[in-house]
Amino acid sequence: MMRSKLFVPAIRPELFEKATKSGADAVCFDLEDSVAPARKVEARDHLQSYLRERQSIDQPLLLVRTNPVTSADFEQDVDCAVWKSISAIVLPKVESAEDVRASADIIAKFERSRNLPAPLGILPTIESPRGLRFAAEIALSSPRVLGLQIGFADLLEPLGVAQSNVAARNQIRLTLRLAAAEAHLDCYDSAYANFKDISGYEDELRASRSLGFVGASCIHPSQIPIANRVFVATSEELVSAARILEAAAQAAQKGVAVTSIDGAMIDAPFIRRARKLLGKKDY
């Protein structure tokens, strides 16, 4: 789970090592939107040099956002990105299961050439109405898929929907969460452009957490502690989850599937959520 994922332009090598010490759960080196077309080659050179030297996989997780699989840059981006230190490819503007499978084939080619011990994950980003419509198929398209991520800027702009439209954003989040649930995957929220708007960013994250999201993108280090705080269980939630599991265990000993705490019914969905919150596989 990645509560916070810090984006770093791949054209800024002076920020690479600093980003890994930022406190983010993951660092995503960006070869897409933050790199001008004329500087793609330069950015890949910087990033490949850094990744080749960094052999271990540790905290934070290291990811690379490539250009779309349909772009002329994609295969060169993958050549740059597939190294032992990378955990996953962030795949932008995914619109179909075939986009994921095509990217997986290209990634696999470079994994074989470098004898990587384990396959890299893929984190598809949903950034269009078509992508949202096929989100469930995308989630189920490959065992490499680690979750689904939303990209509001690209998705909302062509529709004429204001980026500030809370109802629209929440409807999209819920649609994506339902799609990811079919594949038992997590969802990650979009970047929030105004990094000086601390309260606005926190409101966005709390809305996404209430809809089952587990993390979000950060475009500035100041956003990292906010994401890390919002997407972690509170002490009250942990105490409540422990009480639910204890009550469920007592009920199970009596052969009862449904019980209650303080007048509230406790059954299988509540128990599953409590287990997940506490990281438990059983009672």
Choose the weakest-confidence range: 33-47, 53-67, 210-224, 265-279.
265-279
pLDDT in the model for residue 65: 98
**Which residues belong to the annotated binding site for substrate?**
65, 127
pLDDT in the model for residue 281: 47
**Which H/E stretch holds residue 198?**
helix 198-210
Ordered structural domains, the chain, with CATH: 4-232 (3.20.20.60), 236-278 (no CATH)
Task: Identify whether the C-beta of residue 50 lies closer than 8 Å to the C-beta of residue 13.
Answer: yes
pLDDT in the model for residue 139: 97
Give the confidence band of 232 by pLDDT, cuts at 50, 70, 90.
confident
Percent of the chain with pLDDT over 90: 74
Choose the weakest-confidence range: 165-179, 207-221, 228-242.
228-242
pLDDT in the model for residue 173: 97
pLDDT in the model for residue 248: 76
- Whether this prediction's pTM lies above 0.75 is answered by yes
- C-alpha distances out from residue 2 to 59, 128, 145, 232, 273, Å: 11, 23, 14, 10, 18
Task: Identify whether the C-beta of residue 95 lies closer than 8 Å to the C-beta of residue 130.
Answer: yes
**Which residues belong to the annotated binding site for Mg(2+)?**
127, 154
**Which residues belong to the annotated binding site?**
65, 127, 154
Calculate mean pLDDT across residues 47-52: 94
CA 46 to chain CA mean position, Å: 24
Residue 158 amino acid letter? P
Choose the weakest-confidence range: 6-10, 19-23, 223-227, 259-263.
259-263
